[in-house]
Amino acid sequence: MTLRVLCVFLLSGWLSVSAAALPIPENGPALRIQGSNTIGAELGPALVEGLLQEQGLLKIHRETPDTANEQRIVGQTAQGQRVIIEVAAHGSSTGFAALKNASADLAASSREIKDSELLALQTLGDLKSPAAEQVIAIDGLAIILNPANPLQQLNTEQLARIFAGEVKTWEELGSRGGAIHLYARDDQSGTYDTFKELVLSRRGKSLSSAAKRFESSEQLSDAVSADPQGIGFIGLPYVRQAKAVAIADGASQAMLPLNSLIATEDYPLSRRLFFYLPPDSRNPWAQALATFAQSPQGQGIVATSGFVSQTVQAMSVAPNALMPEGYQSLSRHAQRLTVNFRFAEGSASLDNKARQDLARVLDYIKRNGKTERAVTLVGFGDLKDDPARADLLSKLRAMAVRRELVKNGVVMREVRGFGALMPVATNSADEGRIKNRRVEVWVY
């Protein structure tokens, strides 16, 4: 499917599929969802409720069975027939295992599917295809402290050493409080997988055995809030009464987990939340839920659930001395959209989220009358041995996005490349370099 066709698909028929009446099974649940606790605790059930409402069901409510971190969302047809959707939230890995043993129809994951899981599930179809891998929201991992802790920022290298148990006291970090107490999610958690990938594994570290582990995000956050010596990592909606600190990665500026910085995925500990549905699945409820999650109504639920929606908005950016002059000038006269286009690993092709975002950006441009010379694309690259090559590649990536917008009737104002300037992640690891390869969209 070409990107142009995909855009038409997203903006027209695809988003209305779930509005058609879905079949009601005579026995058992209409849909079984397993996986991420981050999604399954509140966001997943809220999206299910939205879908049931769209289907015209009545008396929608949640039932809690005896097993922890499991829910049933129940609605009723006008004829009195119960419709049940089951949500089990025991960690992202359990979702993929459940797809394999056919105990789930849809996997919720707070991390990208692993190569080993792709291989194990290949009989279900390509779970990396655009239809199978659905980014439903953006989340930020917040590093939380007790509110009384005076520390304001940390970098990812410090975080790795803290959670590996190498930095043992707050005084070593220029703070106060004595011994550091570590709080972490359990091994099944996508939150833990993300933290391990973004922070620990990149630096050859492992989580200290002294860390207290939690299956529940809420309990972890409350434990840190009650411990003046505590530090933990958590999904953004679960900061609760704790204090979030600003995080830097490599040469990036320290950033707080703000919605705008998470929406663009510039914040160092931002992550994508996914639905994975097997391409060969015959369950129409799975496809309908994924479709609803991408709709404006679904993204509204994402926002009210405390996560960052993918709804495109314009934001002002304050110029500062660390920006190149051309970027400062742009920030004085234009606004930046809350989306960055990123590219598949080892490829010049847009990744699955970028394909979804292309339709959203086009919709924003057309709704706001920006089709005639009101859009500037700004490309960035990662630092290579040859800075001229990074500069060229940053422009080529911007041109790749330009081609897709032009195909859909947008006349560009300008396309610029800033090479390896203004990194948002360290260039010492492949993951950071991939994050730095991005295209921003600015509108006048």
Residues 132 and 177 in one domain: no
pLDDT digits 0-9 by tens, 186-233: 988 878 988 998 899 889 999 999 999 999 999 999 999 999 999 999
Residues 300 and 401 in one domain: no
Residues 178 and 131 in one domain: no
The residues facing 182 across adjacent strands are 231
Cβ atoms of 243 and 145 within 8 Å: the answer is: yes
Residues 152 and 135 in one domain: no
- Torsion 285-286-289-291 (CA) sign: negative
Task: For residue 234, give its domain range.
Answer: 142-261
DSSP 169: B
Grouping H, G, I as helix, E, B as strand and the rest as coil, residue 96 is helix
HSE (side-chain half, CA atoms, 13 Å) at 331: 13
The CA distance from 42 to 306, in Å, is: 9
Residues 198 and 283 in one domain: no
Residue 11, pLDDT above cutoff 60: no
pLDDT digits 0-9 by tens, 134-174: 999 998 899 999 999 999 999 999 999 999 999 999 999 99
Grouping H, G, I as helix, E, B as strand and the rest as coil, residue 380 is strand
Residues 366 and 254 in one domain: no
The CA distance from 424 to 406, in Å, is: 28
pLDDT class of 431 with cuts at 50, 70, 90? low
Using alpha carbons, select from 224, 284, 234, 276 the residue that is nearest to residue 85. Answer: 284
Q: Which residues contact 128 (CB under 8 A, 6 or more apart)?
A: 113, 118, 352
The CA distance from 124 to 95, in Å, is: 14
The CA distance from 421 to 342, in Å, is: 16
% of the chain with per-residue pLDDT over 90:
70
HSE (side-chain half, CA atoms, 13 Å) at 294: 32
In a domain, 371, yes or no: yes
pLDDT class of 268 with cuts at 50, 70, 90? very high
pLDDT class of 3 with cuts at 50, 70, 90? very low
The count of domains in the chain is 3
Grouping H, G, I as helix, E, B as strand and the rest as coil, residue 404 is helix
pLDDT of residue 222: 97
Residues 189 and 75 in one domain: no
Strand residues in 386-428 grouped as ranges (E): 414-417
HSE (side-chain half, CA atoms, 13 Å) at 399: 7
Identity of the amino acid at 319: P
Tokens of 112: 């990208």
Residues 215 and 152 in one domain: yes
Identity of the amino acid at 27: N
Residues 36 and 90 in one domain: yes
pLDDT digits 0-9 by tens, 230-242: 999 998 889 999 9
